[in-house]
């Protein structure tokens, strides 16, 4: 597994991060049980992955507990770089929330403590100042942010944030005009979630007539008239994949990796074959022509949205 530096930090992380949202115990979304999740985490680590992402909101801390159990064996925690997230709230809740998350992880520190969502109604400076105190106390090695716009990312940079976690993939391009260039200039790593657009870029919906069910029904990419256009763009990814002898998922991830070296995609898995498939993206080399073809197809979908849209049609007040 290729290792890269995480932004301006001293942390060295694998080029793919394993996300644990689908390990939060939500029915119908992810592995069947915790033991299976633990096995997947350990196998990924044994295969070279050292970067793991979680959040308080993933099953109300359940995913953090699962990750803690998986990393409690031997020196696994010391060999891992672990991030967790807290939604912007009263600054006085930052430390108690982190202490509870540390207990769930069975550790006395997190490598990265991330603001999950900003709340325009609350002071960002006060919250980030409290996050920095967690660094000073040794409870977090670094801080990061998620779902931040340019103005918010500029504030976060003043507090030393080393990573930004946005939604970003071939179809959802919200960070390209302003946020991605800012991160590049500022030395902030970009760790995108939903790099495969909740399965839209895996061939699952473009190669079959499968209908949207479950949590995806809340995703704007799966709502008409966007969904039909998204399937067309996904078919372009499928075509490149077929010609290269790769999978659609690998090509979609390769597109992200080629976009910028500061990008470290977060991928979720429910089967070991999913992880093996994702890792294969590191061996896929897209030509400039293929990259531009995919980019253009994805932009036709993204141009159906406005810059204020969120993938789930929701954000905190």
**From 58, 110, 113, 193, active-site residue:** 58
According to DSSP, residue 215 is labeled G
**Does the annotation mark 159 as catalytic?**
no
Evaluate the omega torsion of the peptide bond into residue 225 and state whether it is cis, within 30 degrees of 0: yes
**Beta bridge mates, 52:** 18, 82
- Dist CA 258 CA 260 (whole Å): 6
Quick check: 134 and 94 in contact, CB under 8 A?
A: yes
Phi then psi dihedrals of residue 164, to 5 deg: -125, 130
Which of these, 213, 280, 272, 269, lies nearest to 246 by C-alpha position? 280
Q: How far apart are the first and last CA of the chain?
A: 40
Burial class (CB in 10 A: 0-12, 13-18, 19+), 316: middle
Catalytic residues: 58
């Amino acid at each position: 597994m290729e290792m890269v530096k995480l932004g301006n930090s001293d942390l060295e992380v694998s080029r793919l991060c394993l996300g644990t949202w689908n390990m939060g115990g939500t029915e119908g979304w992810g592995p069947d049980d915790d033991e299976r999740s633990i096995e997947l985490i350990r196998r990924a680590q044994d295969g070279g992955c050292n970067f793991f992402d979680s959040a308080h909101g993933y099953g109300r801390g359940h995913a953090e507990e699962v990750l803690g159990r998986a990393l409690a064996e031997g020196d696994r925690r010391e060999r891992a770089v672990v991030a967790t997230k807290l939604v912007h709230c009263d600054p006085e809740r930052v430390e108690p929330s982190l202490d509870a998350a540390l207990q769930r992880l069975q550790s006395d520190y997190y490598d990265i403590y991330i603001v999950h969502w900003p709340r325009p109604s609350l002071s960002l400076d006060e919250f980030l100042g409290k996050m920095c105190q967690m660094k000073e106390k040794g409870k977090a090695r670094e801080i990061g942010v998620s779902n931040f716009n340019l103005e918010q990312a500029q504030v976060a940079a003043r507090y030393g944030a080393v990573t930004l976690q946005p939604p970003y993939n071939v179809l959802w391009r919200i960070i390209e005009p302003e946020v991605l260039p800012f991160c590049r200039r500022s030395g902030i790593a970009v760790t995108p979630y939903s790099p495969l657009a909740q399965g839209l870029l895996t061939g699952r919906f473009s190669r079959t007539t499968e209908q949207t069910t479950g949590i995806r029904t809340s995703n704007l990419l799966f709502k008409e008239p966007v969904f039909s256009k998204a399937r067309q763009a996904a078919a372009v990814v499928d075509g490149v994949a077929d010609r290269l002898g790769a999978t659609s998922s690998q090509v979609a991830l390769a597109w992200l990796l080629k976009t910028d070296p500061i990008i470290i995609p977060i991928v979720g898995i429910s089967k070991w074959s999913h992880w093996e498939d994702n890792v294969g993206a590191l061996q896929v080399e897209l030509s400039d022509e293929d990259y531009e073809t995919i980019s253009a197809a994805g932009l036709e979908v993204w141009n159906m949205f406005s810059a204020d849209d969120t993938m789930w049609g929701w954000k905190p007040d």
